[in-house]
Amino acid sequence: MAAVEIQTENEEVWGLAFSHNGREVLGGSYSGGWFRRWQVEDGKETETVPSAPKGAVLAAATSKDGRWIVHGDGGVVVARIATTWQPVFRVKEHAGRVDGIDISPDSTRFASVSADGTLRVFSITTGERLLGPIQHNDWLTAVKFSPSGEYLAAASCSSRVRVWDAHTGSRLCEIARSPMDNWSHSPIAWSGDSKRLFYVTSDGKVTCHDIFSSNALREWLLLIDDPGYCSLATNGRLIACSTPVSLSFWDASTYSRIDPPIEVEGGIHGVALSHCDNYFAGGGRGKITLYTLRNILPKDVFVDAPSLSPPTHPKGNLKSVEDILSREIVQHSNYHTFANRALVRTRLKQWDMAIEDANKSLSISPSAIGYIAHAIVLLDQHEKRRALRAFDLAFCHCDASQKRFVLLLRAILLFVSGKRKDPVARVNDLISIADDSEKYDFCRVLGTMYRKRGDAQRAVQSSKRAEYFSAARNGLHLVTISLIFGEEFDGLEIDK
């Protein structure tokens, strides 16, 4: 079986994560001493930073906007700039070893859990504590934000998984599971819709639990005698389950196993799935094994992410566009067409029909454009919190090349919902990491935000900045923004 093996000097590797674009994998040593990154293509090491001599790196996470890396270093949490690996701050609040870290889908917060039994949430830009300490009754080994960013799940090494409101810290539910005989590194994972939680039990099963009804919906057997050191990883569509002797993949929506398990030598401790469905990384003693998923799983498992581009339409004649889309749906209905009609009907203030179209799109196939359409309808009906929750689910259904644009759309959504300061800062940040083909469009959005804030000088500066990148521009971004956000952003001069 084709795989890339990265040798790690006989060190066990636990805290693994892929970069936002899936081109690099990051990991640190269990016994302490280093945190590194390697190229996925050939396993070549590209960066090493020292950790404390006995500072185990058991957890690492990367932000979806490509800006941040957060990892443990013994009892300390370190935040780094992803492009330079320069440390921004170190958080020294935990009284025990940091065993779990996760970054929110909108790349603004991170959560950490520790052997001291506490859960804490921090600002990713400043390191300021936003939530906690929330005390658990035992050593915490894992923490995961839901794909919507609204919930946090934390697992202890004994028998409890608790789910919390990620903004208020109020406990939503507690799931009692069979206690593990051995410490399990990452025994929890979320479904793509943020409604279900997967967790490992001591009898070698993975259970799917509905967090709202408190019912176990499904469970499957991993077929092992010793379930210690089991780990789960998911990207919303696939679930990877590792045991001391095997690796298996499951469909997150149907709970069905994809092909027989893969036998592994020496066990797998840390696990990671790339956001784009391309790669899996398993860390064991002395090595990291990288699998190209398209080489080991059936081709029908993979669905290429659809374009976020809207239909071509005559400006100012949305009723004609609605008629065209309706005829297309009669001839051949698909989720993309229903989502586009939902956006058009929102512009026409046909909200009941728009929400019906958005729901129909998602029922055919969950997609980024479907969740975005659902969010825009909710926003137009002044359901801001539900709109943000729906929008964050879009991140589970777009590939790496679309993530910066989806983050831009989210910043615009925040802006039009009344939050004027933070979205401007977010767009500035995105411009700093955007490709040249994106910068023209992003700068014009920034100029529009400044103009609507009444800052004419900065609006003009942003327009001049945009012209510098005009030769490489991607005009479809502006067309999409105009369709989605309507009158608020029709001033982008997309035909200029």
**Structure tokens belonging to residue 117:** 């039994």
Question: What pLDDT score was predicted for residue 65?
Answer: 80
Question: What's the Cα-to-Cα distance from 458 to each of 369, 450, 453, 463, 464, rounded to whole Å?
Answer: 31, 6, 10, 9, 10
Task: Tell me how far the alpha carbon of residue 328 is from its chain's centroid.
Answer: 33
Does residue 439 form part of some domain? Answer: yes
Domain's final residue, options 301, 330, 359: 301
Domain's final residue, options 301, 330, 353: 301
For residues 47 and 135, state if they share a domain: yes
For residues 89 and 127, state if they share a domain: yes
For residues 327 and 474, state if they share a domain: yes
Q: In sequence order, which residues have a C-beta less than 8 Å from that of residue 25 and are 6 or more positions away?
A: 6, 16, 17, 18, 19, 37, 38, 40, 272, 279, 281, 288, 290
- Per-residue pLDDT, averaged over 177-203, amounts to 69
Does residue 462 form part of some domain? Answer: yes
Does residue 488 form part of some domain? Answer: yes
Looking at per-residue confidence, does 366 or 304 come out higher? Answer: 366
> Is the per-residue pLDDT at 309 higher than 60?
no
For residues 170 and 233, state if they share a domain: yes
For residues 28 and 58, state if they share a domain: yes
Does residue 285 form part of some domain? Answer: yes
Does residue 312 form part of some domain? Answer: no
Question: What pLDDT score was predicted for residue 493?
Answer: 44
**How many helices (H) and strands (E) are present in the chain, helices listed first?**
11, 26
Does residue 310 form part of some domain? Answer: no
| Separation CA 154–CA 164 (nearest Å) | 8
Q: Can you list the positions of beta strands (E) in 32-187?
A: 35-39, 45-49, 60-62, 68-73, 76-81, 87-91, 98-103, 109-114, 118-123, 129-135, 140-145, 151-156, 160-165, 171-176
Question: What pLDDT score was predicted for residue 54?
Answer: 64
Where residue 492 falls among pLDDT bands split at 50, 70, 90?
A: very low
Question: What pLDDT score was predicted for residue 494?
Answer: 36
Give the pLDDT confidence of 388-412 residue by residue, as tens digits. 888 888 877 776 667 788 888 888 8
Query: Domain of 425?
Result: 318-492
Whether residue 42 contacts residue 323, with contact meaning beta carbons closer than 8 Å, is answered with: no
Residue at 323: amino acid letter: D
Question: What pLDDT score was predicted for residue 184?
Answer: 54
Q: Is 112 helix (H, G, I), strand (E, B) or coil?
A: strand
For residues 278 and 324, state if they share a domain: no
Sheet holding 129-135: strands in order across? 98-103, 109-114, 118-123, 129-135
Give the pLDDT confidence of 414-458 residue by residue, as tens digits. 888 877 778 888 888 888 878 778 888 888 888 888 888 888 898
Average pLDDT, the chain: 79
Residue at 437: amino acid letter: S
For residues 28 and 162, state if they share a domain: yes
Where residue 103 falls among pLDDT bands split at 50, 70, 90?
A: very high
Does residue 468 form part of some domain? Answer: yes
Residue 79 β-bridge partners: 70, 89
Tell me the whole-structure pTM to 2 decimals: 0.72
Domain's final residue, options 268, 301, 334: 301
CATH number at residue 113: 2.130.10.10
| Separation CA 77–CA 100 (nearest Å) | 10
Q: In total, how many domains does the chain have? A: 2
Does residue 336 form part of some domain? Answer: yes
Question: What pLDDT score was predicted for residue 496?
Answer: 36
For residues 204 and 118, state if they share a domain: yes
For residues 291 and 332, state if they share a domain: no
Where residue 218 falls among pLDDT bands split at 50, 70, 90?
A: low
For residues 352 and 257, state if they share a domain: no
For residues 328 and 213, state if they share a domain: no
Where residue 191 falls among pLDDT bands split at 50, 70, 90?
A: confident
For residues 120 and 66, state if they share a domain: yes
Task: Tell me how far the alpha carbon of residue 276 is from its chain's centroid.
Answer: 10
Give the pLDDT confidence of 318-347 residue by residue, as tens digits. 788 888 888 888 877 778 888 888 888 888
CATH number at residue 389: 1.25.40.10
